[in-house]
Amino acid sequence: MRIAFMGTPSFAVPALEKIHDIYKIDTVFTQPPKKSKRGMKKTISPVHELSNKLKLNVRTPESLKDDISFFESKKFDLVVVAAYGQIISEEFLKQCLFINIHASLLPKWRGAAPIQRSLMNRDKETGISIMKIDKKLDSGPVLMTKSIPINIYSKHGEVEKKLSNLGADLIVDSIKVIKSKKYKFLEQEHNKKTYASKITKDDEQINWNEEAETIIAKIHALSPSPGSYFFYNKEKLKIFECKLFEKKFDHPGEIFSDKDRLIISCKDKSIEILEIQKPGKNRQKIKEFLKGYNFN
């Protein structure tokens, strides 16, 4: 099979490595290099970096549509997509089979932020779906799925890494059955679909009038990036790790602190902060943070 791979972030790296090790990849498509924060130099994507190490042919079109002539000339049998970052038009989809590594149990959480939305929703499980790409967003039939358990203490960064490796294993199994021609895509239950919209600034701010477990799930869903925040004396403080504290104070948002602990009241119970960050500073464990910060 002549296989192309389309992906960009670190989530896609294990799949690229595993597919190439077993089946060999002909061409990789990834997002173009981007300027670093200081604008001094351009940085390539994690997928581009690995592709260079593997000596693979890499394409970085600003718009995928610009590469249609090249794509048609290659006559690919299969394209594997993992968080590529561009819409794949019908012009490409009609050329060959496109399959996507999607980080949710479809039809739940179609869209841009499936892991974060699943965690924020306090789901009991998430997983990987290997699906055929069609014209509508994440609506194609599914070939394989596999789930993992999650809870309010599951952090986005850790879950993403688990799903990244799970997706690599599952895509290799999927290619195997596709090569054997003994496979069947199953239509999604479209009436059960939910959408995972992009994380916004509004999502990041903590509302102490919500239940403690909802706030805990949100904080861990946005850890390590972008982080959840609240304001204290007009200063924006980000929280990255916390745990449930059974006691409730008189008012949501009420703060109790001593030299070792920081506890904030919520609608029903409270949360104990374990890791926090001041603007422009590194993240700190709470004991270290409280040595130089006074909430009283």
pLDDT tens figures, 32-44:
998 876 666 889 9
What number is the average pLDDT over the span 230-244?
A: 97
The pLDDT tens digits of the residues spanning 165-223 come to 999 999 999 999 999 998 999 999 999 999 999 999 999 999 999 999 999 999 999 99
**CA 231 – CA 222 distance, rounded (Å):** 17
Closest CA to 19 of 46, 44, 40, 50: 50
Our count of domains for the chain comes to: 2
- Give the model's pLDDT for residue 38: 67
Which pLDDT band, with edges at 50, 70 and 90, does 30 fall under?
A: very high
Distance CA 257, CA 275 (A): 14
Q: What is the mean pLDDT of the chain?
A: 96
192 and 207 both lie in a single domain? no
User: Last residue of a domain, which of 196, 215, 233?
Assistant: 196
Q: Which two tokens stand for residue 189?
A: 């239950």
Global confidence as pTM: 0.95
Q: Does 173 lie in the same domain as 86?
A: yes
* 222 in the same domain as 188: no
Same domain, 207 and 272: yes
Residue 268 sits in the same domain as residue 179: no
Rg (C-alpha) for the chain, rounded Å, is 22
- The domain of 168 spans 3-196
What's 249's domain CATH number? 3.10.25.10
Instruction: Supply the pLDDT for residue 186.
Output: 98
Q: Assess if residue 295 is contained within a domain.
A: no
Contact between 137 and 107 under an 8 Å Cβ cutoff? The reply is no
Strand 27-29, strand 78-82: pairing: unpaired
246-281 pLDDT tens trace: 988 899 999 999 989 999 999 999 999 999 999 999
